[in-house]
Chain A
Amino acid sequence: MTNENSGDVRLSGISKTYGSFTAVHPLDLTVPQGSFFALLGASGCGKTTTLRMIAGLEEPTSGVVSLGDQDVTNLPPYKRPVNTVFQSYALFPHLDIFENVAFGLRRRGIKSVKKQVEDMLDLVQLGEQARKKPHQLSGGQQQRVAVARALINHPKVLLLDEPLGALDLKLRRQMQLELKRIQTEVGITFIHVTHDQEEAMTMADTVAVMNAGRVEQLGAPADLYENPNTTFVANFLGTSNLIEAEVDSRSGDDIVLKAGGGKLVLPVARCSAPATTGGKVLVGVRPEKISLTHADDAGEIPAGRNRITGKIADSSFIGVSTQYVIDSAVCPEFEVYAQNIDRDSRLVPGADVVLHWSPAHTFGLDAAQDIDAGVETAEEEAA
């Protein structure tokens, strides 16, 4: 690890096809040394195939995989300085924990492994369990063994394939923080494949959202969330309200749009689609950015905010917030999350309301896309 870029992972035009099915379309991606990178997407989006191509477990149909300056495309997995934490761990059932962790060292011909293995087991707090067999450990402990078994080899890159998928929710939260801590401590590049958007956003510095074999968008979690470029990202990462609108005019840095009977304002910088006058744009806003005011108080809403009128169709109280579904002319199911600070008792199903939000929280997307892309997949994953 003398060279500063020796841990960069560079994928240049790699793709994978099985017969007529394309799992990964030609893909260019650079993961800088020392970063925590997440590949996020639904089942079959190609994220695991991409990871397996980096590990060498899958041969790319085209393209080049490089680690630092080294082209590793044709190296078998056992010659790559890369280790993997497998989905459901793949711990060797016939070896005890100690031997599982020592496996990689021994294969590289290192004789005195005792000290290293013990230190590693201490790092993941499993020193006491060294002589147990994998099936005698709990899911969380097995997960830590899998991480230790990979990390002890000081790989340039650690690949994690849905490492927390088999754990229950509470343990998953705990392990997310734990993995993040280990990554910061050892400073190795982590590439993490997951279908859980919260997990990706909690842990990773950079998230690549994949869909149907392509990277839809890549960026820091907050960027992706606040400023999605496609309907898929808007719907897959959290929830978005999307309204079809027509471009009315430009005024300075803002675009003025017509939707239903009213007008909406969208900053030019936050619009990923070409906005020609008369053209269509999808206007998006996140549910928690919206304020809800009873129609009787509509006069108190400050000027300059985007407004839509509607009727409350449904409300569900979930503790920290109340989630409303609003029936409006522009969108039949507008979702609004309101913090439970001062609850207005008039906001019950059937009440006429005005929805309003700051134009700065509005984003614009190309209207040529499927408005529901990513909605179903996100729901399936949640189920």
Chain B
Amino acid sequence: MAFVNWLKRHLVVIAGLVTLGYLLLPNIVVTVFSFNKPKGRFNYEWQQFSTDAWRDPCGVADMCGSLSLSLQIAVWATVGATVLGTMIAFALVRYRFRARGAVNSLIFLPMAMPEVVMAASLLTLFLNMGAQLGFWTILIAHIMFCLSFVVTAVKARVMSMDPRLEQAAQDLYAGPAQTFLRVTLPIAAPGIAAGALLAFALSFDDFIITNFNAGSTVTFPMFVWGSAQRGTPVQINVIGTAMFLVAVLFVLAGMVIGNRRNRQKA
């Protein structure tokens, strides 16, 4: 009876942890199989422990090239989408203007559209314009679909900002430019950073839109896709594991620093 009661009380926790396990299971598999030494071309079955792939992560033809291309595109897409999106977010929150509803819809629609539809229609445009598919078409597409997400993230932050802070800055002799640089931007920074991070992740990991608009250029997700047909090198798992670890360490380090700073000040 005591056990049943305990179970009842912790049912939510158990169910939540099961879901968390479901979310993490593939990452565990990816990590474990990064130490595999597969027999054939595919790395789906466990054979024997080996650190070969970790010692030679770029040992597969073209993989690291595609990885660096993906990183480049992600960086530029992040910059572009963050700048344009932040501007739109400020305009939406801080100013009244006509056609507000239309602007809001135009920003909402890309998020409510299956990727394959955007991918296909963008390709139609590029084909009609006779554009050379490659780096630039990928970058254009990535900025396009990241933009709305940046707007949403920045808008939330700017909306929760007290307009009196900017008025206080003006009251304290800061002109419009100074007010923006010294008060508005620093306070909106977490929202902008969140938007930028999201844009980076979306761009780096995008496959569907890229697959349609890349031509013969190969980004990292496209390399993985291709290898799923031709044979999956263990190095893919090495990259996947490394990215996961880097992300976790990055966030943990940020939290530790943040905590320490708070403790010092308190």
Contacts and interface: CB of A to CB of B under 8 A. Distances in A.
Check whether chain A touches chain B (CB < 8 angstroms). yes
Interface of A: 55-57, 76-79, 82-84, 86-88, 90-94, 103-104, 107-108, 131-133, 136, 149-150, 153
A86 B266 contact: no
B22 to A, nearest CB: 38
Contacts of B171: 55-57, 77-78, 82-84, 86, 150
Given A133-B265, A136-B265, A136-B266, A86 B169 contact: no
Interface string B174-192: 1100110011001101000
Contacts of A83: 171-172
A78 B179 CA distance: 10
A191 to B, nearest CB: 13
B217 interface: no
B3 to A, nearest CB: 45
A57 B170 contact: yes
A132 to B, nearest CB: 6
Query: How many interface residues does chain B have, given as a range?
Result: 20 to 34
A108 B265 CA distance: 28
18 contacts: A56-B171, A57-B170, A76-B170, A78-B172, A78-B173, A78-B174, A78-B175, A83-B171, A83-B172, A90-B165, A91-B168, A92-B165, A92-B183, A93-B165, A104-B173, A107-B173, A107-B178, A150-B171
A103 B174 CA distance: 9
Contact of A90 (B164, B174, B186, B189): B164
Q: Which 4 A-B pairs give the minimum distances between C-beta atoms?
A: A104-B172, A90-B164, A107-B173, A90-B168
B184 to A, nearest CB: 11
B56 interface: no
Contacts of B47: none
Interface of B is mostly: helix
A256 B168 CA distance: 56
Nearest to A76: B170
Contacts of A57: 167, 170-171
Nearest to A102: B172
Contact of A86 (B168, B183, B187): B168
Contacts of B173: 78-79, 104, 107-108, 153
A108 B171 CA distance: 12
Nearest to A79: B173
Contact of A132 (B167, B178, B265): B265
A84 B168 contact: yes
Nearest to B174: A107
Given A92-B168, A93-B165, 15 more contacts: A78-B172, A78-B175, A88-B162, A90-B167, A92-B165, A94-B189, A103-B169, A103-B172, A107-B178, A131-B265, A133-B265, A136-B266, A149-B172, A150-B172, A153-B173
A108 B175 CA distance: 10
Nearest to B187: A94
B198 to A, nearest CB: 22
From B164, B168, B182, B266, residue with most partner A Cβ within 10 Å: B168
A88 B170 CA distance: 17
Given A57-B167, A87-B164, A136-B266, A93 B172 contact: no
